[in-house]
Amino acid sequence: MPLGERQGDKGESRYCGVETEFNDDMPHVLAFNLSSGGFDFVIAPLMDPTYRPSLVQKDSAGSGALPFAGSDLVMSPSQWSSHVVGKISSWIDLDSEDETMRMDSETTLKQEIAWASHLSLQACLLPSPKGTSCANYARCVNQILQGLSNMQLWLRIPLVKPDDDSANEKSDILVDSWETWNSFRLLCEHHSLLSVALDILGTLPSANSLGRWFGESVRAAIIHTEAFLTNARGYPCLSKRHQRLITGFFNHSIQIIISGKSVHPQANVAADASQNNSGEGLQRHALRPYLDYVAYLYQKMDPLPEQERFELGYRDFLQSPLQPLMDNLEAQTYETFEKDAMKYIQYQRAVSKALLDRVPDEEASTKTTVLMVVGAGRGPLVRASLQAAEETGRKLKVFAVEKNPNAVVTLHALVKLEGWENSVTIISSDMRHWNAPEKADILVSELLGSFGDNELSPECLDGAQRFLKEDGISIPSSYTSFLQPVTASKLHNDIKAHKDLVHFETAYVVKLHNVARLAPTQPVFTFTHPKHSDKETNQRYKKLQFMMPNDTGSAMVHGFAGYFDAVLYKDVHLGIEPSTATPNMFSWFAIFFPLRTPICLSPGSTLDVHFWRCCGPTKVWYEWSVTSPTSSPLHNTNGRSYWVGL
């Protein structure tokens, strides 16, 4: 029984599980927890916890049968696959100093994973590492991962991070649990089938510390009944901080699992009374009130906005940036961008303000403004400019310059359809090579990429600037790129799957979702138009230094998220930089610059990053590197992997 339905949300977080004890009658375990309890799946031990290989060898009569929870025949393959997550025996300790314990643990781990794989389970829950070292545990898990094709392994990690003051009080919790996870996944080489199941306790670390986990491969959150508070009616509830965390998990398709015994007897008393009154014979599940509360949190979430629903399919999907100069865009690409009403509202506002500044009221009926749309596409900026003229009562003469011959066909049809023959002239040419018959008062373009200049807006507008009057206006008038370090395990694993250097030196357009933003953005490159000096090149270099907040704890940087903010005209801006992003605009996703080797940052440390924008005769490219806390290789030297063609 999924927690509920939210329009457009197909995440796995709709399903809630329950952790169970060992029971060799698996059909009963499923019937009780799914039918009576209302849960969607169980975390169930597959082997009797009293089993030890070393004891069997001494006492066994040689039957060789392992004490599993029922044969694979007791349920259908689809029941095993859809409703059971295997729970590996919690006693195993592969880093124990006791050799027998180590050997028993390794044998049992491999036996249980092999059985789970035989059952076609989707996932197995691995117990938490027991000590400060997990090298042997990770070695055995990594061996197992090499032979798996589909089954996920969830490493159980308690969600703890000692704060500076609490570390002295509780000497037993001195390790940031993220460090344990990081050590384990590094030993397993960031394997894509290794994920995290977080144990949620009654107290939570700081918001910054929690934020790290949203960029990690977290598949489940196990909430212990002791973490719940009691409301006025005696039912379980959660603190505001826990509620926010659970809502964050829902948004990131992280499944909730209830664990432990009921510690809210009042809720059980009410449930028993209701059951007696209704005459139901089925035993009421003691953890049902906890499931009901989690379902309540899910159902009271705000529905996804229309824009988010539109972007669902693009979340964390790597796309190559457009090459608008080298390639002619397709109709579908134009159509997607043309649907972005907010972008063209901002352009219309900018043109309106420019027209009012350019032509005083007393000259409105006599003076005609020459406006050139460079890169007109299928005409949305032409329409926005003509609407601005109508709105302001100004006369306008428009040149629509477009190099894509297919889009020019559409432009001619649009001019006829709209009756623009007297006001719009279509020019089928590359703006850099066209010789204009007269100079423009206003130059309008939408050549911006996710990183501002990455679709060669500077080079194109430099080429078009010669037909702008000395006092002419460029819309946009300037734009700045921004960067911030991010944790992005999924993106890293997707790039790593290609097994080559090229993909780690390519910038991708991505609708970032499962990422942790580790520091505020910083500006990188700024371009201003029109350019008033011929000596200024479009090459750029910037060194950035990001400070990691002390309360975050250690974190992993997989790469950098890039954004832009543009000033269209005066106070009219357009952009995707998170703190100033234009609302309800979907033309641009962020850009992602990966690191070949992720870099671990300690609390309060600084991250020194270098970015170059390089220009050659036929291409423009970026190079990037990190020099602190450790040095990374220089990425994309000479544009060997990724470049934009002029």
CA distance 585 to 341: 8
User: What percent of the chain stands above pLDDT 90?
Assistant: 76
Element (H, E) at 626: strand 619-628
pLDDT at 359 over 70: yes
Q: What is the pLDDT of residues 5-50, one digit of tens each?
A: 665 565 788 899 999 999 989 999 999 999 889 999 999 999 999 9
Beta bridge partners of 224: 259
Return d(Cα 247, Cα 294) in angstroms, integer.
10
- For residue 274, pLDDT over 60 is answered with no
Instruction: State the angle between helix axes of 288-299 and 265-278 in degrees (0 to 180), rounded to the nearest 10.
Output: 100
* Annotated catalytic residue, options 112, 402, 455, 459: 455
Tokens describing residue 334? 């134009």
- Active-site option among 446, 505, 577, 623: 446
Q: Specify the DSSP class assigned to residue 212.
A: G
Q: What confidence category does residue 324 fall into, taking pLDDT thresholds of 50, 70 and 90?
A: confident
Predicted confidence band of residue 169 (pLDDT cuts 50, 70, 90):
very low
CATH code for the domain defined by 480-567+576-645: 2.70.160.11
* Burial class, 368, CB count within 10 angstroms (exposed 0-12 / middle 13-18 / buried 19+): middle
| HSE toward the beta carbon, residue 202, CA cutoff 13 A | 8
Residue 53 burial (CB count, 10 A): 16
Overall average pLDDT of the 377-401 stretch: 96
Mean pLDDT of 66-89: 89
CA triple 465-468-471, angle to 5 deg: 120
Q: Which residues pair with 16 in a beta bridge?
A: 256
By CB neighbour count within 10 A (0-12 exposed, 13-18 middle, 19+ buried), where does 577 fall? Answer: buried
Confidence of residue 277 (pLDDT cuts 50, 70, 90): very low
Give pLDDT, residue 64.
Answer: 65
- 586-604: b or e for each residue (b if 16 or more CB lie within 10 Å)? bbbbbbbbbbeebbebebe
Catalytic residue check, 455: yes
In this prediction, residue 70 carries a pLDDT of 75
Q: Among all chains, which residue has been given the structure tokens 């940036």?
A: 321
Average pLDDT over residues 510-534: 94
Instruction: Give 483-520 as a 3 state SS string.
Output: EEEEECHHHHHHHHCCCCHHHHCCCEEEECCCCEECCC
Phi, psi torsion values for 297, nearest 5 degrees = -65, -40
Average pLDDT over residues 184-207: 95
Given the DSSP bridges, would you call strands 41-45 and 84-87 parallel, antiparallel or unpaired?
parallel
- Cα gap 433→110, rounded to integer Å: 68
Bridge partners of 475, per DSSP, are 444
Q: Do 448 and 479 form a contact (C-beta atoms < 8 A)?
A: yes
The confidence score (pLDDT) of residue 174 equals 63
Strands 540-547 and 606-615: antiparallel
Alpha carbon distance 216, 207 (integer Å): 15
Task: Give DSSP secondary structure letters for 595-631.
Answer: EEEEEEE-TT-EEEEEEEEEE-SSEEEEEEEEEESSP
Give the pLDDT band (50/70/90) at residue 533.
confident
The residues near 154 (Cβ < 8 Å, ≥ 6 apart) are 85, 123, 124, 125, 126, 195, 196, 197, 219, 220
For 429-487, how does the pLDDT look when each residue is reduced to its tens digit (9 = 90+)? 998 889 999 999 999 999 999 999 999 999 999 989 999 999 999 999 999 999 999 99
Which helix H or strand E contains 110, and what residues bound it? helix 99-118
Q: For residues 417 and 2, give the distance between their C-alpha atoms in angstroms, rounded to a whole number.
A: 51
**What pLDDT was estimated at residue 320?**
86
What class is the 12-304 domain? alpha beta
**What is the per-residue pLDDT across 96-148, written as a single tens digit (0 to 9) for each?**
999 999 999 999 999 999 999 999 999 999 999 998 889 999 999 999 999 99
Q: Are 70 and 42 in contact (CB under 8 A)?
A: no
Mean pLDDT computed over every residue of the chain: 91
Which residues make beta-bridge pairs with 615?
620
In this structure, the strands spanning 395-402 and 368-374 are parallel
**Is pLDDT of 275 > 70?**
no
The reported pLDDT for the residue numbered 449 is: 94
Assess contact for 534 and 146: CB atoms under 8 A: no
Spatial contact of 69 and 107, defined as CB atoms under 8 Å apart? no
Report the pLDDT value the prediction gives residue 161, as an integer from 0 to 100: 76
CA separation (Å) from 183 to 94, 160, 396, 609? 15, 16, 64, 24
**In this structure, are residues 221 and 244 in contact, taking their beta carbons and an 8 Å threshold?**
no
Q: How many whole angstroms separate alpha carbon 369 and alpha carbon 440?
A: 8
Output the pLDDT for position 170.
45
CA distance linking residue 563 with residue 480, whole number of Å: 9
Furthest CA-CA distance within the chain: 107
For residue 333, what are its two tokens? 């690409």
Answer whether 170's CB lies under 8 Å from 164's CB.
no
Give the count of alpha carbons within 13 A of 177, CB side only. 25
**165-174, 476-485, 615-624, range with the lowest pLDDT:** 165-174
Examine the pLDDT at 248 and tell me if it is beyond 50. Answer: yes
Average pLDDT over residues 568-574: 97
Scanning 238-340, the segments in alpha helix (DSSP H) are: 240-251, 265-278, 288-299, 306-311, 331-338
- Residue the block writes with tokens 């529905």: 303
Angle at 570 between CA 565 and CA 571, to 5 degrees: 65
- For the chain, the distance separating the N- and C-terminal CA atoms, rounded to the nearest angstrom, is 55
pLDDT at 101: 95
| pLDDT at residue 565, as a whole number | 98
Helix pair 99-118, 135-146: axis angle to 10 deg: 30
Residue type at 263 in one-letter notation: V
| pLDDT at residue 605 greater than cutoff 60 | yes
The more confident residue out of 595 and 313 is 595
Find the mean pLDDT for residues 81-105: 95
Per-residue pLDDT, averaged over 408-432, amounts to 94
Task: Decide if 12-304 and 480-567+576-645 have a common fold.
Answer: no
Write down the domain spans for the chain.
12-304, 331-446, 480-567+576-645
Class of domain 331-446: alpha beta
pLDDT of residue 278: 43
Determine whether 50 is exposed, middle or buried from the number of CB atoms within 10 Å of its CB (0-12, 13-18, 19+). exposed
Around Cβ 398, how many Cβ atoms within 10 Å?
Answer: 26
Each residue's pLDDT tens digit, 152-163: 999 999 998 776
**CB-based contact 593:624 (threshold 8 Å):** yes
